[in-house]
Amino acid sequence: MNKNKEEQYAPLRIIDANLNRLREGIRVIEDICRYFFNSESFSKRLKHLRHESRIDDHKSLISSRDILNDPSKQTTPSEQNRADIETILISNFKRVQESSRVLEEVLKLTNPAEAEKFKQIRYELYNLEKEILL
């Protein structure tokens, strides 16, 4: 891949990785709320956020994906240690908040309306974190 192609795909790779990370993390929180806490209201709100966490250009995102050359795909030791359900919730809330922030910033380059959507998702995640953990 030449330099121009790498530069072209870099923002798409960032978006793809963070969309996946965001949806996966929301799903973890959603399933804990659904199956551990039996909370229909939290589960529904999280499911809605997960469904909102999409963009239309799915084929371009998949085309930009380069898992084989990802330099940080190995699991870090801190990711392998979870003491209880609360630590799983906290780590996943932080993961999804960070991912939504990355999406918000990178999408400002090409689609400010989408960037704003991920900003609102991030704020809703902050609210849910407080409601669920307290």
What is the spatial distance between Cα 7 and Cα 10, in angstroms, rounded to a whole number?
A: 5
**Averaged over 38-44, what is the pLDDT?**
98
Instruction: Looking at mean pLDDT, say which of 4-8, 69-73, 108-112, 119-123 comes out highest.
Output: 119-123
> What is the pLDDT confidence band of residue 77, given thresholds at 50, 70 and 90?
confident
**According to the model, what pLDDT value does residue 66 have?**
83
Predicted structure pTM score: 0.89
Picking from 123, 134, 105, the residue whose alpha carbon sits closest to that of residue 45 is 123
**Domains of the chain, earliest start first:** 3-133 (1.20.1260)
Tokens of 10: 């870099």
Has residue 35 got a pLDDT over 70?
A: yes
76: left (phi over 0), alpha (psi -120 to 50) or beta: beta
Picking from 124, 48, 119, 129, the residue whose alpha carbon sits closest to that of residue 88 is 129
